[in-house]
Structure 1
Amino acid sequence: MRFAVSYSTPYYGVDPDRIVAFAQHAEECGFEGLYMPEHIVLYPGATIGPVELPPTLPYVDPLSCLAFIAAATNRILLGTGVLLLPYRHPVVLAKQLATIDVLSKGRMRLLTIGLGGLPGEAAAVGVDYAGRGRRADEAIDVMRLLWAGDADGVSFHGEFFDFDDLVSFPKPHGRADIPIHVGGSSRAAARRAGRRGDGYFPGGMLTPDERRTQLDLARTAAADAGRDPRALEYTRWASTEITPDRVEAFAAQGVTRLVVNVAATDPVEQRDEMSAFADRFRLADDADDDAG
C-alpha cells in the first residue's frame, strides 16, 4: 500500500510558507505524494450534492501551486484530486503538465482528472455541461497523442478538438506520457478509468456494493479495450486515524493507494498528525527503501 496526503487550501489557507512547510514535512515523513483539489470559479448557491460551497473558499490553481511545491521539495510526487479536465484546453494542458514533470524531474505522476459537478462553473468557461464527459475523453486522447508525437507532428479530428501536424515539446521526464487517473463517483467514471485511465480514484460517498460494482466495471472496461485490468491502480480516500487492520481490509479490496486527509487545521497539529501516521505505518523506512 502507498500513502499520500491531501492539502486543501479552502480549509488550510493559502499562506505560501505554510504550504511549503506542510509539503516538506509530508516528504520528510515518507508520504508518496501530495494532492490538491480544484475549482476554477465558485458562485453563490453552488452545491455539490447536499453541500453548499461558500463562494469565497480560496481554491488555488493546483498546477501553479504544485509547481511551487516542487521547487521546495525533492522527492514527493505531485497529484490533483481532481483536476477539472473538461474546463481546460488539452493542447495547453499537455504543455503545462509536461513542463512541471520535467522541472520536477518526473514527479507530476499522480494526476487525477474529473468532470466537475457545478453547471455554473462549466458555463463560466464556455463548456457544455452535458457534453463534458465526451470532452474529457477527447482531452485525454489529445494529451497522450501530443506527448507521444515526434518532430513530424500529430493530427487529431474530433468533436471538440481539431488540429493538424502539431509538435509539443518538452516531453514528460523519462517516459512517453504522464499517468492519468480518473476520479469520480459514477459508473461512467469507472468505465472511463478502465478505457483510458491508469487508475481509478472514486469519491467518498459510495456504498460498499457500489464500490465493488464500479471497480468491476473499470476492470471490465479495461479488458474490453484491450488493456491489462491488473495494471489499473485503485486509489481511495482515508483518514489519518486509520488502523493497520483497516488498511489490510482496503488492500483486500484491491486498493493500491490511500490519500489521507489531515483533520487538524493548526500547522503544528497538522505536522504532529502526519508524524503519528508516518510512525504507525513506518513510511520513512519505506521511502528510504524506495530511494535505495
Structure 2
Amino acid sequence: MKFAISYSTAGGLDPDGLVTYARHAEDCGFEGLYLPEHVVLYPGAAVGSFELPPSLPYPDPLDCLAFVAAATRRILLGTAVLLLPYHHPVVLAKRLATIDVLSKGRMRLLTVGLGTLPGEARAMGVDFGTRGRRTDEAIDVLRLLWEGDEKGVSFDGEFFGFDDATSYPKPYSGTRLPIHVGGSSRAAARRAGRRGDGYFPGGALTSEERAIQWELARAAAAEAGRDPGALEYTRWGSIDMSAERVETFAAQGVTRIVVGPTSADPQHQRDEMSAFAERFALLSAG
C-alpha cells in the first residue's frame, strides 16, 4: 500500500507553511502531496450538501506544486482533482511536462475531474453539459502531444484541433505522465477504465457503490483492450485509520490511500503526520 497526504489552504496560503508541511511529509515517508482546485467560487456554490464559502482560498495547484518541487527532493506531486474541462490541453501539456522535468520526474500523481459547480463552468466559458466530452478529448490531446516527435502530431476533435504540432519539453526521461481520473459517478469510473491510469473516487459513496464503480472501471479497461490489472486504485482515508482498516482497503484492490490532517494548527498537523508515519512505518516501507 502507498500512502500520500493532502494539503488544504482553508486557512490561507502561507508559502513558508506550505514548504514546512511538504518537507515534513517527505521526511515522514509519504509518497506524494495532493492539492485541490477550484478556479472560481461564488455565493451559494456547493458540493453536495456542503456550501463552499466564497472567500475560501484555492490557489493554483500546479503553481503550488512547482513551488513545492523546488523545496523538496523526493515527494511526488499530485492533484485531487485538477478540473480538466477548464484547462486548454495544449497549454496544460506544456505546463505539466515542465513541472515534471524541473522536479526530475515527480509530477506523477495527476488526477483530473470534471467539476461540479455550474457557475464555475459558466465563468470559464464552458458548457456545463459538455464537460465529460471535453475531458475525454483533453486526455487524448495530452497523451498525443507528449508522445509526438519533431514531425508533429495532428488532432481534429469537437473542442480542440491542430495540425503538425510539436510540444517540448517532454516529460522527464521522455515518458508520458500518468493520468488518474477522479469523480463519484459511474461515468467517471468508466472513463478511468477507458482512458486513465487509475481511478480516484470521491468520498461520499456507499461501500456497495464503490465496489460497483471499481468493477466498472476494470470492465471498461478490458473492453477497451487495456489491462485492468494495470489500473491503480486510490482512495481517501482518515489520518487516524487503523491497520485493520488499511487491510480492508487492500482487500478491495486499493493501491494508494490519501489522508489529510484533522487540525488547522501547523504543529498539530505535523504531529498527526508523524504519528501516522510511525504507525505504518512509512520510512521503512519507503
Q: TM-score, normalised by structure 1?
A: 0.97
Aligned to 1:3: 3
User: AA paired with 1:186?
Assistant: S
1:128 equivalent in alignment to 2:127: yes
Provide the residue aligned with 2:153 in structure 1. 154
1:45-78 superposed Cα distances (whole Å, 9 cap, x missing partner)? 1111111100000000000000000000000000
Q: Give 1:86's aligned residue.
A: 85
SS in 2 for 1:234: strand
Question: SS where residue 150 of structure 1 aligns?
Answer: coil
Aligned match of 2:213: 214
> Which residue of the partner structure matches residue 290 of structure 1?
none
- Amino acid in structure 2 at the alignment position of 1:4: A
User: Which residue in 2 is equivalent to 1:22?
Assistant: 21
Q: What displacement does 1:264 show?
A: 1.1
Alpha-carbon distance, 1:174 to partner: 1.6
SS in structure 2 at match of 1:201: strand
Q: How does 1:158-169 map to 2 (within 5 A)?
A: 158-169=157-168
Correspondence for 2:72: 73
Q: Which runs of 5+ in 1 are unaligned?
A: 288-292
Give 1:261 deviation, angstroms. 1.3
The offset of 1:285, in angstroms, is 1.1
Secondary structure of the structure 2 residue equivalent to 1:272: helix
**After superposition, what is the alpha-carbon deviation per residue over 1:148-178, rounded to whole angstroms, capped at 9, x for unaligned?**
0000000000000011000000000024310
**1:227-266 mapped onto 2 (5 Å cutoff):** 227-266=226-265
Deviation of the 1:198 alpha carbon: 0.2
Distance 1:89 1:276 in 2: 41
Could you say what secondary structure the match of 2:203 adopts? coil
Who is 2:192 aligned against? 193
Q: Report what 1:182 is aligned to.
A: 181
Measure how far apart 1:13 and its partner are.
Answer: 2.6
Instruction: Name the amino acid aligned to 1:122.
Output: A
1:41 maps to 40
Q: How far apart, CA to CA, are the structure 2 residues paired with 1:61 and 1:8?
A: 12
CA distances 1:6-26 after superposition (whole Å, capped 9, x unpaired): 00112x431100000000000
Offset from partner CA, 1:172-229 (integer Å, 9 cap, x none): 0024310000000000000000000000000000011100100000000000000000
In the aligned structure 2, how far is the partner of 1:131 from the partner of 1:4?
32
* Alpha-carbon RMSD: 0.6
Distance 2:106 2:214 in 1: 26
Structure 1: distance between partners of 2:24 and 2:274: 8
Q: Which runs of 4+ in 1 moved over 2 A?
A: none
| TM-score of the aligned structures, taking structure 2 as reference length | 0.99
Quick check: 1:62 aligned with 2:43? no
**Count of residue pairs brought into register by the alignment:** 286
Distance 1:249 1:211 in 2: 13
Residue 131 of structure 1 deviates from its aligned partner by 0.5
- The alignment partner of 2:13 has SS state of coil
| Secondary structure of the structure 2 residue equivalent to 1:91 | helix
Structure 2 portions without partners, runs of 5+: none
Task: State how far apart, in whole Å, the 2-side matches of 1:286 and 1:20 are.
Answer: 24
